Structure 1
Amino acid sequence: MKIHPLITKSDELADLCERLAKSDFVCVDTEFMRENTYYPLLCLVQVGNEEEAAAIDPLAPGIDLTPLLDLLTDNEDVLKVFHAAGQDVEIIYNLTGKTPHPIFDTQIAMMAVSQSEQIGYANLVETWMGKTIDKGARFTDWSRRPLTERQIEYAIGDVTYLAQIFPKLLKKLMRTGRGMWLDAEMEKLADPANYANDPGTAWERIRPPSRNREVLGRLKALAAWREREAQDKDIPRGRIMRDETLADLAGHPAKKQEDLAKVRGLSQAWKDNDIGRRLMKVLQNAEPLPADEMPDRPKRGAPLGKEGALVADLLKLLLKIRSREIDIASRLLTRSDELEALAAGVRDLPVLEGWRREVFGRDALDLVEGKLAFAVEKGRLKMTHIDDVAADEPAPPQAPTD
């Protein structure tokens, strides 16, 4: 594989992207800093395929990233391969308003062929390549220039190994027939709605203190205000106010600005500074959340009770057994709260639909309905259908006839 020197000029980048645009896939990774800013600062982009790889300096004076961004967001003929893509995709969305598509995340894909829930890149390389990555440059200030040779070598390694691992992982997915299991997961990853920093929906990420419409209205207004303040100042939203403090204010609003000094998580300065005055104005103008914006109640069914809790525990045991049997990450099949809902009688659940029903959901339903039992065979737990057990049992002896 050819490794290019650090790309700092627009014509070099355009030539590279023109070649990569003819590939079936391109591996992508980024290095960024976000500790002190609202928007992550893109410091380095690494791209490559099976033939070549390069690191691109987005901070180089005058460099035009358009060919690269077009390749990642507009070229539907090239598959974009990432590992743990979420933050990389967020950065690309912030720059373009679009996400890479089509997309493939090797961390998600590993969940379909192993019991790894969130395998890290170093472990991925060790699993597939038998090599150990030097992590010495991992925690570095990527915004400082010039970058060292060690930093660049470390960064490019994130795509050179990935370009070798991806074809092997893809073959295993095809051999096991599990590729289609990941289609919905990859489309969800590429959904631009996941990365939009819309102040109007920021409240949905915060655990609400209650379902009271007035409280939720204040929560929505406060979250939107905090988001705009953080965006304007380009600082992390937590520097304005923590989620817990914001939720407390929504549930127990200050009556006057002086009361802000008594709020846990706010300093004394809030009682008479400008940001405190802006906060009080938001509280005073907040309206109850409209009925059509009320969040859906979680699907819980009837209260579990002691027996229901035992059924939920059995479902979780069943999940562990099935995950081990077919070598798949349990998180890809379902979650604990979904199993508790199933035990409580809820049936409108993802685990009972599509491939998840075939692989796990049908047996889970049989367990709830008393059609499935656990047995021990050669020291290992296994699932046994009641009907199968009955069929295998010898018939009772017939009574003698005269």
Structure 2
Amino acid sequence: MSDTDIAVIKEQGELNAFCDALSQSDVIFVDTEFHRESTYWPTLCLIQAAGDGVEGIIDPMVDGLDLAPFLKLMGDESIGKVFHAARQDMEIFYRLMGTPPSPIFDTQIAAMALGLGDSISYENLVSGLAGQQIDKSSQFTDWTRRPLSQKQLKYALGDVTHLRTVYDRMAEKLDAKNRWSWIEEENQALAAPSLYDTDPENAWNRMKIRRPKKDYLAVLKNVAIWRERLAQDLNRPRSRILKDDAIQEISDQRPRTAEALERLRSVPKGFAKSRHGAGLLDTINYALDNVDEVAPQVEKPKHRSASPAGASDLLRVLLKQVCDDENVTPRLVANAADLERIASGDGDSTAVMSGWRYDLFGRQAEDLLHGRLAITFNQGKVELFDTSQASKA
């Protein structure tokens, strides 16, 4: 396709015909260009999509263009949707549809199951699997501006034309290694509506709970709700209203006056006397005056026995060795918190101790902790030693 061949879909009839053509595909490949550096809500600028023998770019910024035909495809459970690093694209479609697209395939997740790295870039994925080089000179385009050049449009469309090749190569490798089940849970998790919830009343759930005290919890919840509402109303990133560290300090110190609020190190200087300062103080004082009503019910942290010295470090060595041997990215198998739980005897509560993760790593982790497996080093290389076989010998 030459540069001059790329046209942007701006008319309803064109969009309807494009979606009819896409609907004939079992799998469609999707990407978006958006702007949100200075806003709470992302501004959707382009939608790129490709299917069997069809590809195109939709301009959602055209007044009066109804995206319903495309959104219907995104919600069609009989059609797979392939993304790279889908999280932000899913958030955009969730807002447009009221539900996340499903089913999906995220090439970044699949890359972990194939040992291609953690959070691999699209550029490296295309280079490694499709043998194509991406011209990144249009990467930092302001996609809100019109008109867009043919060079910019070619770059945008490449995000789905190359994605098709990447998916085909990945499918072959997943088939050969029998690892489709390894990515199913992760892909399904990306389609969970709770991941994209923007209801201010639930904003406190994103905050780290540092202490179980009711007055702390009441302030934390109320201030998180206040910040989320204000960020949405002003269409500004929540961190530009108040950072998480500031909410934590406010919840710890519980200032009731502008003077006390002004003394907090993490609260921006002058915020207490700004146009939003009074609202924040009202929010704090209401929480403190109605602690029993406002404070959320949270589960007390489970008491875990201290893990044996070095146990989690040994598990980390084992995880790396197992993943190196099987050519899979460790983060897909277990994270640091999982290893700490396993080391302290609370491993049954982790995903590591069931399914393919148990077969790959969990069983050996148990053997290591119970002395049935040992880790040795030979000429700078890690070796695993079955102690049960040694005792029989």
The bucket for the TM-score relative to the shorter chain is: over 0.9
After superposing the two structures, state which structure 1 stretch, 45-54 or 268-277, moved more.
268-277
- Structure 1 residue 253: Cα displacement: 1.7
Q: Is the 8 A contact 1:309 1:343 kept in 2?
A: no
Aligned to 1:49: 51
Moved more, 10-19 or 374-383: 374-383
Aligned to 2:328: 328
8 Å CA contact retained: 2:116, 2:328: yes
Residue 248 of structure 2: aligned partner:
247
Q: In 1, Cα distance between the equivalents of 2:36 and 2:111? A: 28
Measure how far apart 1:255 and its partner are: 2.0
Would you say 1:5 and 2:7 are equivalent positions?
yes
1:35 match:
37
Question: Which residue number corresponds to residue 340 of structure 2?
Answer: 340
Q: Which residue pairs with 2:64 in the alignment?
A: 62
* Residue 294 (structure 1) aligned with residue 298 (structure 2): yes
Partners of 2:377 and 2:57 lie apart in 1 by: 54
Matched position secondary structure for 1:153: helix
Cα distance in 2 between the residues matched to 1:79 and 1:230: 34
Please give the residue correspondences for 1:87-236 in structure 2 after superposition, counting only pairs within 5 Å: 87-236=88-237
In 1, Cα distance between the equivalents of 2:309 and 2:122?
37
State the one-letter code of the partner of 1:138.
Answer: Q
Question: Distance between the aligned counterparts of 1:194 and 1:285, measured in 2?
Answer: 29
Is the contact made by 2:376 and 2:385 (CA closer than 8 Å) also made in structure 1? yes
Unaligned residue ranges in structure 2 (runs of 5+):
none
Cα distance in 2 between the residues matched to 1:296 and 1:18:
53
Aligned counterparts of 1:107 and 1:354: Cα–Cα separation in 2: 21
Change in Cα spacing, 1:300 to 1:324, as seen in structure 2 (3 Å) is: farther
Give distance in 2, aligned partners of 1:270 and 1:197: 25
- Does the CA contact (< 8 Å) of 1:300 and 1:344 recur in 2? no
Q: How far 1:267 moved relative to its partner?
A: 4.5
* Preserved contact between residue 217 and residue 251 of structure 2 (Cα < 8 Å): yes
- What is the CA distance between 1:310 and its match in structure 2? 1.2
How big is the alpha-carbon RMSD for the aligned residues of Structure 1 and Structure 2? 2.0
Conserved 8 A contact 2:217-2:296: no
Pairs aligned (count): 387
Residues 280, 315 of structure 1: alpha-carbon distance in 2 compared, 3 angstrom cutoff: same
Q: Tell me the SS of whatever aligns to 1:280.
A: helix
Question: Residue 4 of structure 1: CA displacement?
Answer: 4.8
How far apart in 1 are the matches of 2:90 and 2:331? 22
Following the alignment from structure 1 to structure 2, what is the Cα–Cα distance between the partners of residues 280 and 191? 35
Corresponding residue number in structure 2 for 1:396: none
CA distance in 1, matches of 2:324, 2:30: 31
| Paired amino acid for 1:51 | G
Name the CA distance, whole Å, in 2 between partners of 1:38 and 1:291: 26
Q: Deviations over 1:302-343 (max 9, x none)?
A: 123xxx231111110000100000000101110112112211
Name the TM-score, length of structure 1 as normaliser: 0.91
Q: Is the 8 A contact 2:45 2:61 kept in 1?
A: yes
Question: Aligned in 2, Cα 1:216/1:9: closer, same or farther, shift over 3 Å?
Answer: same
2:74 is aligned to 72
1:8-64 CA-to-partner distances (Å, cap 9, x unmatched) read 111111111111111010000011110111101101111002422111111123211
List per-residue Cα deviations over 1:123-166 (Å, max 9, x = no partner): 10011022221111111211011111111110100000001111
Match of 2:316 in 1: 316
- Deviation digits for residues 334-359 of structure 1 (CA, Å, limit 9, x no counterpart): 01121122111213221111111111
C-alpha deviation, 1:184, in angstroms: 1.2
Instruction: Name the CA shift for 1:15/1:347 in 2 (closer, same or farther; >3 Å).
Output: same
Which has the higher mean CA deviation after the structures are superposed, 154-163 or 278-287? 278-287
Q: Using a 3 Å threshold, how does the CA distance of structure 1 residues 268 and 128 change in structure 2: closer, same or farther? A: closer
Check 1:144–1:24 CA distance in 2 against 1; reply closer, same or farther (3 A cut): same
Compare CA radii of gyration and give the structure with the larger one. Answer: 1
What per-residue deviation string (whole Å, max 9, x for no partner) do you get for residues 261-304 of structure 1? 3233444543444411111111111143778721452x662123
d(CA) in 1 for partners of 2:78, 2:97: 19
C-alpha displacement of 1:365: 0.6
The SS at the match of 1:136 is helix
Per the alignment, in what secondary structure is the counterpart of residue 219 of structure 1? Answer: helix
- Confirm or deny that 1:389 pairs with 2:390: yes
Structure 1 unpaired stretches of 5+ = 394-402
Q: Is the 8 A contact 1:309 1:340 kept in 2?
A: no
Structure 1: which amino acid aligns with 2:8?
L
Which is further off, 160-169 or 339-348? Answer: 339-348
SS in 2 for 1:309: coil
* C-alpha separation in 2, matches of 1:212 and 1:271: 25
TM-score by length of 2: 0.93
8 Å CA contact 1:50–1:164 kept in 2: the answer is no
Kept after mapping to 2: 8 A contact 1:23/1:49? yes
Q: Deviations over 1:231-259 (max 9, x none)?
A: 11111111211111111111112221233
2:184 counterpart letter in structure 1: D
Please give the alpha-carbon distance, in whole angstroms, between the structure 2 residues aligned to 1:115 and 1:167: 15
* Secondary structure of residue in 2 paired with 1:188: helix
Identity of aligned residues (%): 38
Secondary structure of the 1:382 match is: strand
